[in-house]
Amino acid sequence: MITKRIIPCLDVKDGRVVKGVNFQGLSDVNSPVELAEYYTKNGADEMVFYDITASAEGRKLFTEVLTEVASKVFIPLTVGGGINSLEDFDRVLKCGADKVSVNSGAIRNPELIRQAAEKYGNQCVVLSVDAARVDGTYRVFAKGGRENTGMDAVEWIRESVERGAGEVVLNSIDTDGVKQGFDLPMLKAVCEVVDVPVIASGGAGCIQDFVTLFQEIPTVSAGLAASIFHFGEVAIPDLKKELKKNDISVRL
């Protein structure tokens, strides 16, 4: 049976992981390569790297680091951040990314999804959406969640999947950072309208939040989180054991 995926997400700036990660045995807590190796050994099913660099110089460092990660870690790697064109897809895919996540770039130019899906296949195009409740509906936010686009999130996701997005990462701004659990109503609304895998993001604070996620919404394919993994609040091996105990299929 297909397993539910657990995905740690790392923010990278100028080729270094932002906010050092506190694990014993790491000699360099800001090294994307060391962290990728650590997570791979500890049960991560894939990893997401977000490049939050603004400068061209930093971009170059990111691709160098990505190349090194991809030559040492053999699980799927998704890369996002600053993906605005097919050239950007090309740049990260050549360095070993398996999937490319688009967010603001697709909002500015929705056809980017179609073009990328035609060139690299749907499986390569991950739509990442930051959404929040505004007047009772879910709205899409751009620029790292700072700008309300006014677009309806469920409709945007449905359209984007039609254009060729092969996977959706839904990050709820409302639950992000609150650590009280994933945004189940928002995830349900999205899972009802798309048939591609949906990855839940934003809000996980403890192991039970993942158990609840997969029990309440069996069609959700994966759970993504950052700080709770990085700061050791949730260890992935413990998380997976608990999921298994609750009859949720995981790779152990």
Q: Active-site residue numbers? A: 11, 130
- Residue 120 as a binder of another protein (CB under 8 A): the answer is yes
Distance CA 140, CA 148 (A): 6
Interface of this chain with another protein, residues 177 to 236, rule: CB under 8 A: 195-198, 218-219, 221-222
Among 9, 35, 65, 70, contact with another protein (rule: CB under 8 A): 70
Among 18, 75, 86, 248, contact with another protein (rule: CB under 8 A): 75
- Residue 245 as a binder of another protein (CB under 8 A): the answer is no
- Residue 143 as a binder of another protein (CB under 8 A): the answer is no
Q: How many residues bind another protein (CB under 8 A)?
A: 39
Q: How far is the CB of 47 from another protein (least distance, A)?
A: 11
- Residue 122 as a binder of another protein (CB under 8 A): the answer is yes
Nearer of residues 19 and 158 to another protein, judged by Cβ: 158
- Assign 120 to helix, strand or coil: helix
The candidate with the shortest Cα–Cα distance to 7, out of 42, 46, 39, 37, is 46
Q: How far is the CB of 190 from another protein (least distance, A)?
A: 12
How many C-beta atoms surround the C-beta of residue 195 within 10 A?
A: 8
Q: In whole angstroms, how far apart are CA 77 and each of 44, 86, 95, 223?
A: 11, 18, 11, 15
Q: How far is the CB of 224 from another protein (least distance, A)?
A: 13
Q: How far is the CB of 147 from another protein (least distance, A)?
A: 30
**Burial readout 174-184 (b: 16 or more C-beta within 10 A, e: otherwise):** ebbeebebbbb
Q: Where are the beta strands (DSSP E) in the chain?
A: 5-13, 16-17, 47-51, 77-80, 99-102, 125-134, 137-142, 147-152, 167-172, 198-201, 222-225
Among 9, 33, 34, 45, contact with another protein (rule: CB under 8 A): 45
Among 76, 110, 145, 185, contact with another protein (rule: CB under 8 A): 76
Distance CA 165, CA 172 (A): 19
Amino acid in position 217: I
- Residue 42 as a binder of another protein (CB under 8 A): the answer is no
- Residue 98 as a binder of another protein (CB under 8 A): the answer is yes
**Burial readout 204-241 (b: 16 or more C-beta within 10 A, e: otherwise):** bbbbebbbbbbeebeebbbbbbbbbbbeeebebeebbe
Query: How far is Cα of residue 48 from the mean position of the Cα atoms in its chain?
Result: 5
Among 14, 20, 26, 40, contact with another protein (rule: CB under 8 A): 40
Q: How far is the CB of 69 from another protein (least distance, A)?
A: 10
Q: How far is the CB of 45 from another protein (least distance, A)?
A: 6
Residues that bind another protein (CB under 8 A): 1-5, 40, 45-46, 67, 70-72, 74-76, 93-98, 118-124, 166-167, 195-198, 218-219, 221-222, 251
